[in-house]
Structures are given as structure tokens and as C-alpha cells.
Structure 1
Amino acid sequence: MSGTGYQALLDCRRRSRLLRGHGFTVDQIAVILSLDHPASPLRLYRYVAGLTAGQVIAAYAALDPTNTATLREARLYDYENWPKAGRRPPAHALILLAAIYGTAPVRLISSETLGTYPPPSQRLLLRGQR
């Protein structure tokens, strides 16, 4: 993790703890942090959770019902950089990541991005909407 990225993670961890102490939800905290951290929703939710990429990879593997999780840190970063760069995360990855971050899968992508998924994937992502 770059120094700048790690500093952003530390700042978001601190602020998330404070905001949770005041009763803010994960989704509200993500909106607040987005004002100061220009990152994709997927990265912001990782920051709200206060997790490093390595911690997310471990949690992802533990949640994968097929026990065949193949998510690597580099791929997570690709997903977090998409759609400006990187790779679009598949719907099943967003569902697992949403479970880790404590939010709905559609909150991890923008509404414009949701439209780039095929209809069956959109339905899967919307199914867990809060």
C-alpha cells in the first residue's frame, strides 16, 4: 500500500470510529468520507471498514461458499480503480465484498456503473439493496 493510501486508510479508520460512536451508519460514514477522499465507492467502503487489502482478501476467502476464492490484492485494487482503470468487479465479488463491509452490493458502485452490468447481474446486485 502506498504511503498516501495508507495515510488515507488511517484517517478513515479514525474518523469512522468517531462517527460510529455518534451513531452514524456505514453508508452515512462513506458519504462523509467521500467529501475528503476522492476514491471509488468500493475503496471508500474498505476505508470505512478500516481494512487493509490483505484483511479483505482473508475475509473474502472465509466468506466464499465454494472455497475457491481467487481474489488477490492486485485484483482488489483493479476493482477499486474501475471504471477509470482496472477491471469491473463481477456481481458475485461485489456481493461478498458488501457482506465484508456491511452494506448493500449496489452501494459499492455508482448508479451509472450498475447500468453496465447485464440484467441478471443487476438483479443480483439490487436484491441485497438496503
Structure 2
Amino acid sequence: MSGKGYQTLLECRRRGFHLRGHGFTVDQIAIVLSLDHDVAPLRLYRYAAGLTAAQAVATFNALESTGAAPLRESRLYEYESWPESGRRPPARVLRLLAQIYGTHPAQLLAAETQATYSSGDQELLRV
């Protein structure tokens, strides 16, 4: 992780820990963090949950039960960079990441980005 990205993560983790101590939810913490950091929602929610990429990937792989190839940190970073770059995260991945982060899957994407998914995938993101 680059120096600036790591510093952002540390700041967000510190601030998130403080806000959780005051009873803020992950969704509320993500809103607060978004005021100071121009980060895509998927990465912002990982930060709001206080997780490193390694922690998120380890939890994802422990919970993933479809037999798909394990998630790697590099792929998580690609998902977090989309749509500016990287890869589009599948709806099933977003659902599991939302579970890990303690939010609803639709929160992990901007509304205009959600609209690029098929109607079936959009339904998965709403459930």
C-alpha cells in the first residue's frame, strides 16, 4: 500500500474507532469519513469498518462458500478502484463484503455505478 493510502487508512481507523466508541454505526462513520476523503464507497466502508485489506480478504475467504477461487488483496484493490480503473466487483462479492463491513450491499456502490449492473444483480444488491 502506498504511503498516502496507508496514512489515510490509519487516520480512518483511528477516527472510526473513536466514532464507534460514541455509538456511531458503520454507515454513519462512512458518511463522516467521506467528508474528508475522496475514496470510492467500497474502500471507504472497509476503512469505516476498521479493516486492512488483508483482514477483509481473510474474513471473506473464511465466509465464502461457493467454492470460487479465493479473493486476493490485489483483486480487492482492483474492485475498490472501479469504475475509474480496476475491475467491476460481482454482486455476490459485494453482498459478502457488505456482510463483513456491517452494511447493506447497495451502500458499497454509488447510485450511478449500481445502474450499470444487470437487473438481476441490482436485485441482489437490494436484498
TM-score for both structures, normalised by structure 2: 0.96
Please state whether the residue corresponding to 1:87 is helix, strand or coil: coil
- Tell me the CA shift for residue 66 of structure 1: 2.3
Task: Tell me if 1:9 matches 2:9.
Answer: yes
**Helix, strand or coil at the partner of 2:87:** coil
Unaligned runs of 5+ in 1: none
Count of residues paired in the alignment: 127
Q: What is the TM-score when the length of structure 1 is the normalising length?
A: 0.94
Query: In the TM superposition, what is the alpha-carbon distance from 1:74 to its structure 2 partner?
Result: 1.1
State the alpha-carbon separation in 2 of the partners of residues 100 and 3 from structure 1. 25
Residue by residue over 1:85-129, the C-alpha shift from the partner in whole angstroms, topping out at 9 and shown as x without a partner, is: 1111000000010011000000000111110000000001001xx
* DSSP-derived class of the 2:75 partner: helix
Query: What residue number does 1:90 align with?
Result: 90
Runs of at least 5 residues in structure 2 that lack an aligned partner in the other structure = none
Please report the RMSD computed on the Cα atoms of aligned residues, expressed in angstroms.
1.0
Which residue type is aligned with residue 46 of structure 2? R
Superposed, 1:64-79 pairs within 5 Å as 64-79=64-79
Counterpart secondary structure, 1:57: helix
Matched, 1:113 2:113: yes
Q: Percent identical across equivalent pairs?
A: 63
**Greater CA drift, 44-53 or 66-75:** 66-75
1:15 and 1:5 mapped to 2: Cα distance? 15
Structure 1 CA distance, aligned partners of 2:107 and 2:69? 22
The list of structure 1 runs, each at least 4 consecutive aligned residues, that deviate by more than 4 angstroms after superposition, is: none
In structure 2, the partner of 1:48 is 48
